[in-house]
Structure 1
Amino acid sequence: MLFFISANKGLAQTANQAQLAREQAPSPFPPTTPPSAVEGGHVVAAPGDADLGEQQILKRVEEYQPFTISLGAPFYWTSNVALTRSGEQSDFVVAPAAAAFYEPRITPTLFGLIDVREQLFYYDKFDSFDFGSFDVEAGFRYLVPQWHNLLLRVEYDYNRLTKKDSFEAFFQNHGFIVNAEIPFRLGRAQQLSLGADVNISAAAEESGQPPSPNVNAISARRNDYEVYAGYSVVLARSFFVNAVGRIVVRQYWEGDRTDVNEILALTANYRVNKFLTVSAVSTLAANRSNHSIFDYNVANLGGAVAASLKF
């Protein structure tokens, strides 16, 4: 058994590195307004809403558009390609993404969610790290206006990590996500959001590993427990800044491994028009594990271009 785990260690680290790289990378899409957030007959703007502070009548909600098609392309320098404790190597990454979202309004405060997303990560010098990430999500979002517009989410997420220029998977995960978030308006142009979520892996499959029930042999499989705080300020009608701080406890199924991951994301966004947004993006992350070999720090700095169409 020890020989088997050792023989697959390199592959498992690749799957884990890819998971962490995509989760700590700058987002391909800027934040948007929650569709159901209404307060006093006006849409409540969330972090990323370039119209924060503008009075928006309830008619906007009555003309709710459930479909969104989004394209995005972050490009950034990363300080630690392999997410290692020592011997860090930097590189330049381009990570184009495409997504389709369907969020039907079931009741005035209950929304469904179905989305399909694909993102590809291309490294300049270390192209052996190239990979793709494909997601399908389905769930519900429920707004509780009487509780300070508390937003509750329950979702199923299928994630498939794929090899370079291929849809062949080297890791697959079925997860269930429960999230709660509450916004606080700070005047007309600022908002603070506090939230927590749990992401439980219900099943996983990794290339080269034995099938279930040997789940403990899948070393990239984990459960995540997270708290976060987000701040947004609109400095002009089309220019807004976001900051999000996250603390994530990652509990791995194998090896009695538990990591604590701290992530800070900063973005400055300019909305060119209702379809196109350009951004300066950055993320800083520090990982500390009960097995110090998995400790690392990483910085990602760059920009992003995103286009979105609602109908």
Structure 2
Amino acid sequence: MTSSSKIQILRTVQQVRQWRHQSLINNQSVGFVPTMGALHQGHCSLVAQSLKENDKTIVSIFVNPSQFAPHEDLNNYPRTLDRDLEILSNQFKNKSIDAIFVPKISEMYPNGIVLEVDKQRGTFVTVHGSSEQLEGVTRPQFFRGVATIVTKLLNIVQPTRVYFGQKDAQQCVVIKNLVKDLIIPTEVRVMPTLRESNGLAMSSRNEYLSKEIKDKSSIIYKALCNGENYYNDKIINHNQNSVDSKKIIKEIYDLIKQEPDFDIEYIAVSHPETLEDLDQVTPGLGAIVSCAVKVPKENSNEKARLIDNIILQ
């Protein structure tokens, strides 16, 4: 790893705090990009934004056990640390990342961590009101795990700004509410979803997919755009004051259903701040239109779960 020699690899909370203390002394801003590894261009776009907006940038790589249920794919989640470090070392030419935090589970969960919620011990963070719907219906412990690990990481790094991708729209809302409610002095920056050339949202879970299924999965974004075009047409060309959410959902549903092997888990039209279901979408407030679709994995009888969203203005 000679190419990463100028990037400090930090393994403990204490090392991160010492590193952060130095930037405080020097009055330098710190940008932070938390990841679970298996890095792709979507992550790199967040890092590039942080490099642009801050004096120092730190990236964390940690597959967080507490956001996985016992039946989910924690053990199979892609872990590509050497490749991730290579990407972070070589991707950014003008200005390099300053530090990478790669903690062990024992560092982040001193009491240990098991996947069964009722057997967990220690402190956990729940953001009520924006965690239970959408992704939270099928993954009830997911946002509790996300909120807990993000709180820990923000406490450790104490960044000026933290960066997330719009693809995880509900996660962004949960984290914004978390930072506001716990009065954490960090700005949450949400950056646009990066997409493959066919429109498929970049995701670590795309590694599960064959090229054929990746190509077919582009229908998810096309369908969301269908819903967006329907909304814009009604507002702009038909001078409507609002648009029925059910009709937007039907435009999306009808297109995705053309792929017989795809299972639609949900399509939702939600308030952009509270994530409550909206009956009507009105310009100005707008909406987050999101979906989860299960698609066949390569060489497996199982399915991978893809999420995506668009923002209506």
TM-score of the superposition, structure 2-length normalised?
Answer: 0.26
TM-score of the superposition, structure 1-length normalised?
Answer: 0.26
